[in-house]
Amino acid sequence: MPSLHPTRTRPLRHKTRWNAIKYSPIHSSNHHHHHHHHHHHHHHYHHYQHSSLTTAMLARTINYLAPAYIILLSALFGVKALFLHLCLPPTVSTFRNVWFSLFWQYVGTRFFFAHDQPSISRINSKCRGKVLDVGPGVGATLKFLPRPPLVTHIYGLEPNIHMHAQLQKAIDDEGLTEVYTILPFGAEDVDGLRAAGVEAGSVDTVLTVRVLCSMNEKFMERAVGALFESLKPGGEWLVYEHVRNGKCAVSASLQEFYQILWPKTFDGCNLNRRTGEILLKTGRWETNELVDLEEEPWTIMPHVWGRLVKSGE
């Protein structure tokens, strides 16, 4: 078992086969198209330089302001949820769960999904055998999961019961009814997992796509530990998560600033979590193919993705 330094979220060079072949850059940037102009049109050069600089700055500014926009949008949905909450008979459901499920139905598909879709479809398609799908939400990414016989059973851990009706509909629409079971709790509920038939060392694939950011700090290590324990030796943990920006100090400090309100907006989501490092520390892995997604180094929501293989001791 090679020792993995906890701060290393990028794999060693000789392990980048996964990155190079299967994970060829998805959001390829458009930097390559510009060089022709310089030779033919010298008089456009300064103008061109200026406009491309403006475009780059604009892209970065929009990226930096996006969380503020989303926080404001969330406040609007808070008003709507409050209104519904006051009109409806009081139930066990918390105001916050109603708010988040309303908000996520609107925002999840519009903002997050389009940009992430190619990566998520690639990650999901790698699931095999008995799968733990952690935090499937309303089931927007189920369509990318393989079908039986490639998968034998999928357990969807979704503690927010306000998403269950839509999740079940997505399961039925995708023809996964026979193989997909919704479990109404989080991964930190080890007894619940075991009672549902998810034994230690019985799972082929753990899938975490944009969920580890929202795990409660208090449960984080227990949850990750329980998922790791559920994996078979040689089982795969597939990851697509946004993390703290380690490449750009400006972006990292902006993440810290937005972090003040962000978790309240997004059901406990953290903009600045070092998720890759937490996974590497908590488990014992024979293969570490977690890499940084090909993105602008300054992005406010950089992603780490790939897979970890549990060591077979």
* Band (13; pLDDT cuts 50, 70, 90): very low
Q: How far apart are CA 99 and CA 266, in angstroms?
A: 10
8 Å CB contact between 263 and 256? no
The larger pLDDT score, comparing residue 88 to residue 271, is at 271
Give the three-class secondary structure for 153.
strand
Q: Is 240 inside any structural domain?
A: yes
CATH number reported for the structural domain that contains residue 186 in this entry = 3.40.50.150
Q: Is 73 inside any structural domain?
A: yes
Taken in order 172, 129, 303, 293, is the CA torsion positive or negative? negative
User: CA distances (Å), 85 to each of 89, 95, 138, 266, in order?
Assistant: 8, 6, 20, 18
In this prediction, residues 89-117 reach a mean pLDDT of 74
pLDDT of residue 32: 45
What's the domain count of the chain? Answer: 1
* Band (87; pLDDT cuts 50, 70, 90): confident
CB 241: neighbour CB atoms within 10 A? 21
Read off the pTM: 0.74
Query: Model confidence over 23-72: pLDDT tens digits?
Result: 434 444 444 444 444 444 444 445 556 678 888 899 999 899 989 988 88
Q: Is 88 inside any structural domain?
A: yes
Q: Is 276 inside any structural domain?
A: yes
Domain that holds residue 156: 54-310
